[in-house]
């Protein structure tokens, strides 16, 4: 259990950063924030989610933090850490919320001071909306938290990430290498978003609005997508994602060919396989 006297700094107080702050304050920790907008700080202060904050990259505020959580986009975080790394206190532990780990965690660790540790972590929680005003720590209780240690990490850093996830009450806490993480996320998250976006972009389908049922709505809900964040995540993981898209297209072309050929036995096998696999995911 993380010592209650420890102090957290959240850099980037958006939906996730705000939810972290809210949950950590509820558990009795000191929580400060650095974020772009004074309105965001005022909003969180008024609700008691933080003890203080600044819109400046204030070295004193940074130096007082035992733990720093970055709620920034990957590239912004990489640049922020490079720019401010002399300000961290010796022994400080840093972590993130990024959806991609290769080209992020490794890059940060490569350039980081030896007496400060960065441990990658990915809270697999989110909403269709962004901003501190939508902060909701209860979304963590049904979500996965993935810790992505590398050979540069210590038991202390990995232990911190695990204890943080426990404090935040994540349902599942697991550990993957950064390569395993990005391969997994390429399939379960990025491919599904690519499919939803492409389905929504197929034809001009506006005239079909009155005919769509739950199936179509379920498949396209995530086609509402933050273009700045997701373009960055897609490019960072492009090798995995391009391969996953190719494999999915091969799977769909196989089904298409069986439809064109009216291959009754073949198509039934595909339906039986998808049904069996999907039932397994219901367990």
Residue list 92-131, contact with its own copies (CB under 8 A)? 124-125
Total binding residues for its own copies by CB under 8 A? 85
Q: Choose which of 55, 143, 150, 162 interacts with its own copies (CB under 8 A).
A: 143
Minimum gap (Å) between residue 259 Cβ and its own copies: 5
Residue closer to its own copies by CB (options 86, 215) is: 215
Partners of residue 34 on adjacent β-strands: 11, 54
Q: Is 40 exposed, middle or buried (0-12, 13-18, 19+ CB in 10 A)?
A: buried
Q: Choose which of 81, 146, 168, 178 interacts with its own copies (CB under 8 A).
A: 146
Query: What distance in Å separates the CA atoms of residue 112 and residue 118, rounded to the nearest whole number?
Result: 8
Query: What distance in Å separates the CA atoms of residue 58 and residue 192, rounded to the nearest whole number?
Result: 40
**Cα-to-chain-centroid distance, residue 245:** 20
Partners of residue 122 on adjacent β-strands: 146
Candidates 70, 64, 56; CA nearest to 92 is: 64
Count of CB atoms within 10 A of residue 41's CB?
A: 21
Q: Name the one range near its own copies by CB under 8 A: 72-80, 101-109, 112-120, 251-259.
A: 251-259
Residue closer to its own copies by CB (options 59, 271) is: 271
Q: Does 141 bind its own copies (CB under 8 A)?
A: no
CB-based contacts of 42, cutoff 8 Å, min separation 6: none
Helix (H, G, I), strand (E, B) or coil at 102: coil
Residue closer to its own copies by CB (options 50, 222) is: 222
Q: Tell which positions 189-208 bind its own copies, by CB under 8 A.
A: 189, 191-203, 205-206, 208
Tokens 């943080």 — which residue?
164
Q: Does 187 bind its own copies (CB under 8 A)?
A: yes
Q: Name the one range near its own copies by CB under 8 A: 18-26, 92-100, 147-155, 229-237.
A: 229-237
Enter the DSSP assignment of 217.
H
Minimum gap (Å) between residue 170 Cβ and its own copies: 12
Phi/psi at 113 (nearest 5 deg)? -50, 145
Residue closer to its own copies by CB (options 107, 112) is: 107
Torsion of CA 176, 177, 182, 183, to 10 degrees: -80
Residue closer to its own copies by CB (options 6, 134) is: 134
Residue closer to its own copies by CB (options 112, 139) is: 139
Residue closer to its own copies by CB (options 82, 249) is: 249
Query: What distance in Å separates the CA atoms of residue 74 and residue 97, rounded to the nearest whole number?
Result: 9
Minimum gap (Å) between residue 7 Cβ and its own copies: 31
Q: Tell which positions 255-274 bind its own copies, by CB under 8 A.
A: 255-256, 259-260, 262, 264, 267-268, 270-274
Q: Which two tokens stand for residue 164?
A: 């943080």
Residue closer to its own copies by CB (options 151, 214) is: 214
Q: Does 4 bind its own copies (CB under 8 A)?
A: no
């Amino acid at each position: 259990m993380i010592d209650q006297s420890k102090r957290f700094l959240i850099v980037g107080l958006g939906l996730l950063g705000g939810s972290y702050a809210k949950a950590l304050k509820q558990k009795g920790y000191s929580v400060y924030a650095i974020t772009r907008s004074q309105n965001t700080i005022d909003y969180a202060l008024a609700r008691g989610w933080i003890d203080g904050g600044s819109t400046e990259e204030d070295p004193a505020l940074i130096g007082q933090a035992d733990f720093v959580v970055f709620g920034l986009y990957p590239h912004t975080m990489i640049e922020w850490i490079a720019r401010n790394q002399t300000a961290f206190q010796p022994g400080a532990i840093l972590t993130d919320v990024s959806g991609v780990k290769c080209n992020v965690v490794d890059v940060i660790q490569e350039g980081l001071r030896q007496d400060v540790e960065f441990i990658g972590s990915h809270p697999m929680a989110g909403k269709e909306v962004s901003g501190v005003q939508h902060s909701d720590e209860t979304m963590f209780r049904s979500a996965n938290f993935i810790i992505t240690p590398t050979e540069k990490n210590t038991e202390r850093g990995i232990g911190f990430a695990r204890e943080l996830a426990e404090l935040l009450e994540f349902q599942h806490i697991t550990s993957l290498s950064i390569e395993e993480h990005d391969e997994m996320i390429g399939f379960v998250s990025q491919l599904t978003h690519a499919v939803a976006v492409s389905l929504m972009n197929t034809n001009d389908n506006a005239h079909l609005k009155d005919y769509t049922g739950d199936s179509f709505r379920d498949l396209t809900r995530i086609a509402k997508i933050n273009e700045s964040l997701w373009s960055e995540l897609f490019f960072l993981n492009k090798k995995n994602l391009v391969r996953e898209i190719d494999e999915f297209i091969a799977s769909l072309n196989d089904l298409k060919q069986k439809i064109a050929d009216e291959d009754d036995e073949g198509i039934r096998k595909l339906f039986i396989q998808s049904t069996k696999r999907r039932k397994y995911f219901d367990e």
